[in-house]
Amino acid sequence: MVIATNLGFPRMGAKRELKRLVENFWAGKIDENALLSGAKKHREEHWSLQKNAGLDHIPSNDFSFYDQVVDHSYAFGVIPARYKNLKPGLETYFAMCRGLQKSGVDVEACEMKKWFDTNYHYIVPEFDSNQQFNLNATKIITEYNEAKAVGIQTRPVILGPVSYLLLGKPARGSPQEFEPIQLLSKLLPLYEEILCKLAEAGATWIQIDEPCLIRDLPPTLKDEYTSAYNALTKVSPKLKILIATYFERIGTNIDFIIDTPINAIHIDLVRSPGQLEPILKRLPSTVSLSLGLINGRNIWTANLDDALAEAQKAVTALGSERVFIAPSCSLLHTPHSVQNEKKMDSEMLGWLSFAVEKIHELVIISKALNCGVDSVQAELDVNRKSIQSRRTSSRIHDPIVQEKMKSLTPDMFKRKSPFRERQQKQKQKLGLPLFPTTTVGSFPQTKEVRSIRAKLKKGDVTLAQYDEFMNKEIEKCIRFQEGIDMDVLVHGEFERNDMVEFFGENLQGYVHSENGWVQSYGSRCTKPPIIFGDVSRPKPMTVEVIKYAQSLTKKLVKGMLTGPVTMLQWSFVRDDQPRKDTTYQLALAILQEVQDLEAAGISVIQIDEPAIREGLPIRKEDWNEYLQWAVDAFLLSSCGVDCSTQIHTHMCYSDFNDIIEAIQRLDADVITIENSRSDLKLLNAFEKREYTNEIGPGLYDIHSPRVPSTEELKTRLKEILKYIPKNLLWVNPDCGLKTRGWKEVEAALKNLTDVAKEFRAAEAGC
Ligand code: MET
Ligand SMILES: [Zn+2]
């Protein structure tokens, strides 16, 4: 029998119940018991749901209060020294995730990084060269037992030891030559202990994720993989091991594990359909193959006939006993269920499939294979109709957009003069001081802001009431920035629920879900809008609001837009044309907005591209092609302005060193860039003069509620000045402030502008 499996279920719940639970706990509104029992109930619901849908292998330990990687660190006692004085348990755990500032305690969060090429963020483990591991928590076993107690046999998921170490970094102050992977032999006994306990508890399968196997890896890692899986497969004859890879092809890295006695391997056939045939040939007769056929990264209804045909190939080659039907990766990256969408038309709904529906698709495929196609004829007919209607719908193709795409010229991809000339003109026009201060754009999205937006959606307030409220927020924000002497002001982005969704709502070719939330980090979720057709901008989107903000002050107000690559990356994207074409369509729409802002007298315009790095293909050989069109798309959106108009961009969350050339080619006049969580690594590129335009490396980490002191900011700024010439340096936080509260923002930004002024004065004194 073919087995229908899932690799992980989205954690948040149909209505983001987990988010509310955790945030209530942080706010002190519920106690630890309420948190734990609420979470338990939540997990049970998700297990039952998957079981009732007919899934054979149901994952457990895919749940987390914040992130699965930090769960492993906590479980293995990989807790950096700075947290050692905190209370063990949730206080320590959440301090690692978010930092902690309370009476007598002030400790920063661990670094956060994007999970491969997704918009999910994990907490980076920090390893000491003499790291001691100890099994500090056994969440994986507790959760397995919990499911078992309600009659559900699960397949626990654990991040494999090699990937876990590779995803971590050496703790500050570690010896140069130390690499976390050197700790493998010390770490393995903990994995063995866990596997042993799971086998004793009755588990029959374990899913060990080794996502690093899809990266470019040095051949030397074969030894580590081999020793890890030779050891783990020995633990218990009762416990079978599935190694899961996803997000890319495994390629020749399959050699690293395939000769160890593992029982099954999972491959992503959505990203890399081409890998099926070579792997079928390579698979030893003792190993089963889990086929990642249903897209875990997108929301389109799968073409079940196509998926079935692929699955059939595997069944023919291996026999049905050795085939699993699975999503391409954990469904963590998809929203919960289409059933919660009450406002979409039925044609659109038929095109969409979220986690619950994807599980249904998996079950249909496995049933077709196990009981014959006739047994699912009705389901297949519905599926064929939906596929056909999407292919032919007139809602998707816009001849005007197609025409514009055909008339792009090379001039549209470059500024009218080189940076140095523009910089002069901008100096004259804008009259900014040395070390100009600014923010990245958003200010606190308070309860009131969110609630009035919700009320507007429900029709509980009129548009006029809403606008009046927003104008007051903007005015408050402008006055605050004037009060602390900020140089380039922002309007605060109060009207935006999300930097991508807001624009999506104002563009043609997009559709929006009510509940299509996907976890981004911790309790933070985004609701990616869905690009289903050709994109265009029916009317200006931000011009009125920016004009209003500018009318309140003599200082410069920056226009704030989201760039085409980020729009693409953080949307669910149509899969019926190349991503490049969709991005260019977005770029053309943004360009119109940029030009309208300029015409309205706005001379500083920021086009955020936080996601450009995350769009980078995982395999290096695929980079150039992507970077070429991604940078071109940004250029297309930003070049059609006068030289005296200052274009800013912003990036965050990632290592940028490896794409510094591409960042230079964006030719933004100013870039504000996150670097405070990554230990100033980024700045090396500037020392080498690989980047020559103006830049504001984030002076402090906004992901944590702690307020940086002026001393801390000064130290940071001094450090930065070792790398960046003063005439290029901007002073700003590392990202937008929407998730923060006003109190901490006021204090932090006041410190920031004070420090900039002090440095300015010192320069003037010289
Ligand atoms: C994730 S980058 C965020 C940029 C946006 N302008 C903001 O300030 O929120
Ligand atoms: Zn950012």
Give DSSP secondary structure letters for 426-474.
HHHHH---SS-BB--SB----HHHHHHHHHHHHTSS-HHHHHHHHHHHH
Q: Is the ipTM of this complex over 0.90?
A: yes
Residue 127 pLDDT level (bands cut at 50, 70, 90):
very high
CATH code at 50-77+109-262: 3.20.20.210
pLDDT, residue 688, reads: 77
Cα–Cα distance between 43 and 140 in angstroms, integer? 13
3-state secondary structure of 100: strand
Cα–Cα distance between 160 and 191 in angstroms, integer? 9
Q: What is the pTM of this model?
A: 0.89
Cα–Cα distance between 326 and 157 in angstroms, integer? 14
pLDDT, residue 560, reads: 98
Asked whether the beta carbons of 47 and 370 are under 8 A apart, the reply is no
Arithmetic mean of pLDDT, 663-679: 85
3-state helix, strand, coil in the chain (%, to 5): 50, 15, 40
What is the 609 CA–ligand 2 centroid distance (Å)? 8
CA nearest ligand 1 atom 7, residue: 736
Q: How far is CA 754 from CA 68, 490, 700, 750, 751, in A?
A: 39, 18, 14, 6, 5
pLDDT over 90 at 618, yes or no: yes
Closest CA to 190 of 236, 221, 232: 232
What positions carry a catalytic annotation? 703
H-run or E-run covering 52: helix 32-52
H-run or E-run covering 20: helix 17-26
Ligand 1 pocket test: pick from 114, 119, 443, 735 the residue with the most ligand atoms within 8 Å of its Cβ: 735
* Closest-lying ligand 1 atom to the alpha carbon of residue 499: 5
Every domain of the chain and the residues it spans: 50-77+109-262, 277-393, 399-765
Closest CA to 349 of 382, 322, 371: 382
3-state secondary structure of 670: strand
What is the 299 CA–ligand 2 centroid distance (Å)? 25
What is the 238 CA–ligand 1 centroid distance (Å)? 50
pLDDT in tens, 185-241: 999 999 999 999 999 999 999 999 999 999 999 999 999 999 999 999 999 999 999
For residue 737, the ligand closest to its alpha carbon is: 1
The region of weakest confidence among 311-315, 516-520, 610-614, 738-742 is: 610-614
Residue 111's φ and ψ, nearest 5 degrees, are -65, 145
User: Taking ligand 2, which is a single-atom ion, which protein residues have CB atoms under 5 Å away?
Assistant: 610, 652, 735
* Closest-lying ligand 1 atom to the alpha carbon of residue 562: 6
Residue set of the binding site for L-homocysteine: 608
Cα–Cα distance between 548 and 542 in angstroms, integer? 10
pLDDT, residue 489, reads: 98
pLDDT, residue 765, reads: 83
CA nearest ligand 1 atom 1, residue: 610
Q: What is the DSSP letter of 220?
A: T
Asked whether the beta carbons of 96 and 79 are under 8 A apart, the reply is yes
pLDDT in tens, 370-420: 999 999 999 999 999 999 999 888 899 899 999 999 999 999 999 999 999
What tokens were used for 21?
Answer: 């639970």
Share of the chain above pLDDT 90, in %: 91
Cα–Cα distance between 525 and 531 in angstroms, integer? 19
What is the 732 CA–ligand 1 centroid distance (Å)? 12
Tell me the average pLDDT of the chain. Answer: 95
CA nearest ligand 1 atom 3, residue: 736
Residue 766 pLDDT level (bands cut at 50, 70, 90):
low
What is the 614 CA–ligand 2 centroid distance (Å)? 12
pLDDT in tens, 330-373: 999 999 999 999 999 999 999 999 999 999 999 999 999 999 99
Amino acid present at 199 = A
CA nearest ligand 1 atom 8, residue: 736
Residue set of the binding site for 5-methyltetrahydropteroyltri-L-glutamate: 19, 119, 524-525, 570
The answer to whether domain 399-765 has CATH 3.20.20.210 is yes
pLDDT, residue 677, reads: 53
Same topology between domain 50-77+109-262 and domain 399-765? yes
pLDDT, residue 84, reads: 92
The residue assigned the tokens 């014959």 is 372
pLDDT, residue 138, reads: 87
Residues 6+ apart with CB under 8 A from 319: none
Cα–Cα distance between 751 and 747 in angstroms, integer? 6
Cα–Cα distance between 568 and 555 in angstroms, integer? 33
Residue set of the binding site for Zn(2+): 650, 652, 674, 735
Mode of pairing for the β-strands spanning 646-651 and 604-608: parallel
Residues with CB under 6 A from ligand 1: 440-442, 493, 499, 560, 608, 610, 650, 652, 735-736, 738
Q: What is the DSSP letter of 22?
A: H
Residue 679 pLDDT level (bands cut at 50, 70, 90):
low
Give DSSP secondary structure letters for 519-570.
EEETTEEE---EEEEEEE-SS-SSHHHHHHHHHT-SSEEEEEEE-HHHHHHT
Share of the chain above pLDDT 70, in %: 99
